[in-house]
Amino acid sequence: MNAAVNYVHEQLTQVKEFPKFKAGDNVTVNYKIVEGGKERIQSFRGDVLKIQGNGATATFTVRKISNSVGVERTFPFSSPNVDSIVLNKVGKVRRAKLYFLRERSGKSARIKEKRFSNL
């Protein structure tokens, strides 16, 4: 019974292909904003603080510093308003939820970039 419900649910919900990213990565989220009758795409570039949930309810939180004020925004993976996600940098972190970045500012709030060797 449950397998049949999952199958129908997967067929009805369109799954967008996003790049694989995790907490600590720097991403640009392009999302649609509706103002009156007009639609436009706005980008939000920042570090991923956390990814939570699974399936249709999965969300991720992105944090950026704007005019020396920290701004966090949570995006659902399955939202039709999320147009695309671009992976800018892969961060080198040792935990899944980076809440400690909220108390930090300046150089201590930076995340090291993971380097890949070209073999």
pLDDT tens per residue, range 54-84: 988 999 999 999 998 899 999 999 888 999 9
User: Could you read off the pLDDT tens digit of each residue along the chain, which spans 119 residues?
Assistant: 677 777 776 666 666 778 899 999 999 999 999 988 899 999 999 999 999 999 889 999 999 999 988 999 999 998 889 999 999 999 999 999 999 999 988 889 889 988 877 65
Domain boundaries, the chain: 14-92
CATH code, residues 14-92: 2.30.30.790
Task: Enter the pTM of the model.
Answer: 0.81
Helix extents (H) in the chain = 2-12
Dihedral pair phi/psi, residue 40, rounded to 5°: -140, 165
What percentage of the chain reaches a pLDDT higher than 70? 91
13 DSSP assignment: S
